[in-house]
Structure 1
Amino acid sequence: MLRALLPPWAHEPIGAAPAQPSYVADDGFPAEMSVNWSGDRPELRVLFDSLGHEIVWPGESGFRARRFEHVRETFTPRAGRPSPAPLWHSIAWRPPSGIVHKTYFGLYSWPHAQRETAVAEAMERLGMAAAWDDARRRVETVEGNREIEFFAVDLADEAHARVKVYYRNHDAGLAEVDRVAAVAVHHDSRRAQAAYRTLAGDRTDAGEAALSCLAFRSGVDRAAESTTYLRLPDLAPDDREAVERTAALLHDQGVDPGRFRALAAALAPGPLADSRGVLELVSFRAAGRRGDVTTYFRLPVYDRPPPSPLSPVDLAWRFPEG
């Protein structure tokens, strides 16, 4: 299904170096795969960089199409932005439900003031200005250094669609990322902190470039939910340890980690003890549903890292889909 949707470049052979580097993964490969383990069945997600190509999802009309078009121009030079925001796309599938499409606008190359302005304008267009103003004020009360990196919209029915704002945290502690997460209406700090400790091992910091995602829903005048993403290659010495810690978290959340272990072993190029970064990120959302853990896999495809980006932002961390 994904193969049928992608533009012609998706069918070109993969060489030793990317013809057009992407910042989804550190080596320039333009895609990642993730799995959310909550519920009776896991949800498979594939996120990819459109690399400047237009992507048109079949059957996207009505509310879904209008929601995307409401905000699209906000992230282009026509609205005063310094450059078009890179577009990343995602499909998410949890059988027997239908597929959900998501679109992400990358803001990481813009000056901070431009990011703030674009997000404020987009939230106003979507009727969520009050909720964003509340969330922004609350985040600003949390000590620490962070910046907006992504703005995302779910192309789903109105009752289920979310708008998401992603912050990248710099040199944050586990307590700090929990305080950012607590900006949301639905957040259980006790459960969240226990999950963070399981993933971080004996460290009290959140590691390199932890992400905080605030999700907004129609009719809620605050951020409704929050998700925290920890970068496992910085917190664990290798993929084996990263998988063990994540498996322990899944077990604590009432999820049998067997399928997760099998998937991680299948995706690694060799023994997990010999690799690092295949399991790139693990996220946790403490919003009432047990087992809301997502694991993000980035495949070691290219022989060398991409050229240094033009962005002033250190791109050692890029986006995870959530």
Structure 2
Amino acid sequence: MRTTRALRALLPPWAHERIGPSPAEPSYVAGDGFPAEMSVNWSGRHPELRVLFDSLGHDVIPPGDSGFGTRRLERVHETFTPRTGRPSPAPLWHSMAWRPPSDVVHKSYFGLYPWPHAQREQAVAEAMARLGMSTAWDDARRRVETVDGEREIEFFAVDLADEAAARVKVYYRNHGADLTSVNRVAAVASRHDPDRAAAAYRTLAGTRTDAGEAALTCLAFRSGLDRAAESTTYLRLPDLAGDDREAVERTATLLLREGVDPGRFRTLAASLAPGPLSESRGLLELVSYRAAGRAGDVTTYFRFPVYPPPPPLSPVDLA
């Protein structure tokens, strides 16, 4: 109940509005425009529950710790606004993560996807300079550019925590990448096991050798390091699997190989599905894997089928 109360206090005003037949303001979080998702990280003795939501333009200030974590967010916030020459304010997302018995952790995400690519690059470079991480970012950017393929920066995120382990994260969206390419991008980080990662990707992708539609790579940076510390790869299961049943089975296989009993994951997926998993697709939207030394570092991302999917684009819309 404590976590439920904290979530209700943190959610923006839209959380109190009745859900209608279509989103009043569609969000980029989910394909149907719903502004929230739920995810679970399965590493460790206790899973970590996460809820992410789009503030939809509301001024939402996470409670943070009133210490360095909050100051870190304040230090970079202006970088993602028109005050520093950006074309528009970056959409702001927040998340809260709870792994009992630890305290709740808060995170903030700036969505750079509405801007031209040059503006995204400039904003990230400025933010990393403000945080004293220019050397690590320059190193990561150069390494990423050596990997063949097309990709774009999509998000910049900060952990709102005092701990030395708190991260600053940059998310790349890969286009038309194969599994080898996303593994090479992930290897930009200093802590990455390419063999374990490759095996995990193959399990999730099934017979496919490509990484599916718009796979994501997150590079995580920590204070005092001159290189990206860790990386996480996100694969989009609705493109790689025929339905949610197949997506859940592949993920359960990966969890078992990582030493995690998949029973709770199967139960959760079945409880969230609107019907049989074999008759749905997209409930299990993303599965991420981080090969940085901790077993079972798998996160499952659930998108709820709240609104009818948008109609397919006509030839005129595609022109």
8 Å CA contact retained: 1:239, 1:279: yes
Partner deviation per Cα, 1:127-184 (whole Å, 9 max, x = no partner): 0000000000000000110000000000011412100000000000000000000000
User: Is it true that 1:103 corresponds to 2:111 in the alignment?
Assistant: no
What CA distance in whole angstroms lies between the structure 2 residues aligned with 1:22 and 1:305?
Answer: 13
* AA matched with 2:68: F
Cα deviation, residue 7, structure 1 = 3.0
**Aligned position for 2:30:** 25
TM-score, scaled relative to structure 2:
0.95
Match of 1:64 among 62, 69, 76: 69
Match of 1:270 among 267, 275, 283: 275
What CA distance in whole angstroms lies between the structure 2 residues aligned with 1:69 and 1:26?
Answer: 30
- For structure 2, list consecutive stretches of 5 or more residues without a partner in the other structure: 314-319
**Aligned position for 1:242:** 247
What CA distance in whole angstroms lies between the structure 2 residues aligned with 1:102 and 1:194?
Answer: 29
**Aligned position for 1:230:** 235
5 Å-filtered alignment, 1:18-167, equals 18-58=23-63, 60-167=65-172
Task: Give the share of equivalent positions with the same residue, in percent.
Answer: 81
What CA distance in whole angstroms lies between the structure 2 residues aligned with 1:228 and 1:3?
Answer: 30
Question: What is the SS of the residue equivalent to 2:50?
Answer: strand
8 Å CA contact retained: 1:210, 1:228: yes
Cα deviation, residue 203, structure 1 = 0.6
Question: What is the SS of the residue equivalent to 1:116?
Answer: helix
8 Å CA contact retained: 2:64, 2:161: no
Partner deviation per Cα, 1:201-244 (whole Å, 9 max, x = no partner): 00100000000000000011100000000000000000000000
Cα deviation, residue 274, structure 1 = 0.1
* AA matched with 1:81: R
User: Is it true that 1:170 corresponds to 2:175 in the alignment?
Assistant: yes
* AA matched with 1:45: R
Question: What is the SS of the residue equivalent to 1:227?
Answer: strand
Cα deviation, residue 8, structure 1 = 2.8
What CA distance in whole angstroms lies between the structure 2 residues aligned with 1:140 and 1:7?
Answer: 38
User: Is it true that 1:261 corresponds to 2:266 in the alignment?
Assistant: yes
* AA matched with 1:41: H
Which is further off, 240-249 or 12-21?
12-21
- For structure 1, list consecutive stretches of 5 or more residues without a partner in the other structure: 309-322
Question: What is the SS of the residue equivalent to 2:119?
Answer: helix
Q: How many matched pairs?
A: 308
Match of 1:179 among 154, 159, 184: 184
8 Å CA contact retained: 2:13, 2:58: no
Cα deviation, residue 12, structure 1 = 1.2
* AA matched with 1:93: W
* AA matched with 1:36: N
What CA distance in whole angstroms lies between the structure 1 residues aligned with 2:198 and 2:138?
Answer: 26
Question: What is the SS of the residue equivalent to 2:288?
Answer: strand
8 Å CA contact retained: 2:62, 2:94: no
8 Å CA contact retained: 2:185, 2:217: yes
8 Å CA contact retained: 2:154, 2:172: yes
8 Å CA contact retained: 2:70, 2:161: no
8 Å CA contact retained: 2:243, 2:281: yes
Which is further off, 82-91 or 55-64?
55-64
Cα deviation, residue 306, structure 1 = 8.8
TM-score, scaled relative to structure 1:
0.94
**Aligned position for 1:201:** 206
**Aligned position for 1:215:** 220
Question: What is the SS of the residue equivalent to 1:45?
Answer: strand
What CA distance in whole angstroms lies between the structure 2 residues aligned with 1:59 and 1:200?
Answer: 37
Point out which structure has higher relative CO (alpha carbons under 8 A, 6+ apart): 1
Q: Quickly say closer, same or farther: Cα 1:200–1:221, change in 2 above 3 A.
A: same
**Aligned position for 1:305:** 310
8 Å CA contact retained: 1:34, 1:44: yes
